């Protein structure tokens, strides 16, 4: 038995298969010049099968919600090797608008990566307001996105994941939350795992 793959070229009433090098004198198969075929020879019988082109897998859409431009850049850098299309939102309100727009355009996000502190400030008072839920933090943003789309898949990635604040994100509808201490490389592996298994994470420190 001989098997192989090659290109099928047509010359009038003859066809030449490049692997293995065989002249096939029958034109009963409706192949086109240059098509890829699988060749199998069993004894004196020649079996040829057209190789179907695989459909290009659509990119998964990920919405990253984080107020820090540097974090947004790092997310794009570490997730760039995955088959994803990344959108950014730098505040809770922007995240909600971007999510709505993507839905309206038939581009429902596969995943939303949510930070907790979306204040856009390093001021302690602003951080405290976010923690108390007095402003549009990651918890409120998650709750609103889940109201718009109950099937939204949201995971947290925050330096404050270990606090009660992180637990509130889970309560708001996030499937899991990871602390920044795991690093961006390990986090990217988690995202790759999620995409590969096509399932939700159910991991959190709570």
The answer to whether 53 and 21 have CB atoms below 8 angstroms apart is no
Query: What gap in Å lies between CA 179 and CA 195, rounded to an integer?
Result: 20
pTM of the model: 0.70
H or E stretch including 4? strand 2-11
CATH superfamily, domain at 60-197: Response regulator (3.40.50.2300)
Average pLDDT over residues 42-59: 69
φ, ψ of residue 16 to 5 degrees: the values are -115, 125
The whole-angstrom distance between residue 94's C-alpha and the CA centroid of its chain comes to 21
Q: How far apart are CA 98 and CA 152, in angstroms?
A: 13
Q: What is the pLDDT of residues 142-188, one digit of tens each?
A: 999 999 999 999 999 999 999 999 999 999 999 999 999 999 999 99
């Amino acid at each position: 038995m001989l098997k192989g793959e090659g290109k099928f070229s047509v010359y009038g009433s003859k066809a030449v298969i490049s692997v293995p090098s065989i002249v096939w004198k029958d034109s009963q198969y409706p192949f086109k010049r240059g098509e890829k075929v699988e060749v199998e020879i069993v004894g004196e019988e020649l079996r040829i099968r057209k190789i179907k082109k695989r459909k290009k897998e659509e990119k998964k859409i990920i919405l990253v919600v984080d107020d820090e431009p540097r974090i947004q850049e790092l997310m794009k850098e570490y997730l760039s090797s995955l088959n994803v299309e990344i959108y950014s939102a730098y505040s809770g309100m922007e995240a909600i608008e971007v999510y709505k727009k993507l839905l309206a355009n038939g581009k429902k996000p596969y995943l939303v990566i949510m930070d907790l502190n979306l204040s856009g400030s390093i001021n302690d008072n602003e951080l405290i307001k976010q923690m108390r839920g007095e402003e549009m933090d990651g918890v409120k943003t998650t709750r609103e996105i889940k109201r718009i789309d109950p099937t939204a898949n949201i995971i947290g990635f925050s330096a404050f994941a270990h606090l009660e604040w992180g637990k509130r994100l889970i309560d708001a509808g996030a499937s899991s939350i990871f602390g920044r201490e795991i690093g961006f490389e390990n986090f990217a592996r988690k995202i790759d795992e999620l995409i590969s298994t096509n399932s939700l994470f159910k991991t959190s420190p709570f």
